[in-house]
Amino acid sequence: MTVYKKRKNGTTSKYWYYNFEFNGTRYNKSTGKVSKAEALEFEANVKAQLKERYDQCMTDGGRDIKLVNAVDLAIEKPTERPRGIKQDRRKIQIWGDFLSWLNEFFPKVTLMNEVTRPIAEGYVSYLRTYGKHNKVIKQGRKKAFVANHLLSTKTLNSYHKEIQWVFDQLIADAGLSRNL
């Protein structure tokens, strides 16, 4: 249990603050309490509520989402602003590259909740070292060609961002707390 009083300009605040990490997220707020004992009790209540919500999410919201269907489910989710068709195609193309990499290196991984952080980091590392996994590029009706070059930093970031977007869209549906 970590409670403390903030100091500013040589003076100490009259209220106690809590500071802890739960499930990868830092929580740092005022308890609004003057007594240390009350502040410790308040912090324990906040932690209990967070744990209860986490446990409820893991038991109630979780369903098995196949990786093959994940990008389509993510695209179908409502958004504040409509996306363009090209953006959706790009997401599908990047997700397809991720799936082809997964099928080669981790063929038993078929569900979202089976993708761990080391697997995701392995894909990003592969992108940095070798470029895209699926190197055949088609441009409309034109003849396909093979790209044998590495990806730029901007493209690497784009790949990482789009894959993270799919997981972010479906994190609650899959019953995941924090995946990647």
Share above pLDDT 90 across residues of the chain, in percent, rounded to a whole number: 15
Q: What are phi and psi of 144, to 5 degrees?
A: -75, 150
Q: Is 151 left (phi over 0), alpha (psi -120 to 50) or beta?
A: beta
Q: With a cut of 80, say whether residue 140 has pLDDT above it.
A: no
Q: What is the pLDDT of residues 52-108, one digit of tens each?
A: 776 665 554 567 788 898 899 888 887 778 888 999 999 999 999 999 999 999 999
Structure tokens of 119?
């697997």
Terminal alpha carbon distance of the chain: 27
pLDDT of residue 20: 86
Global pTM reads 0.60
Give the position of tokens 């396909």: 144
pLDDT of residue 179: 43
Structure tokens of 103?
């099928």
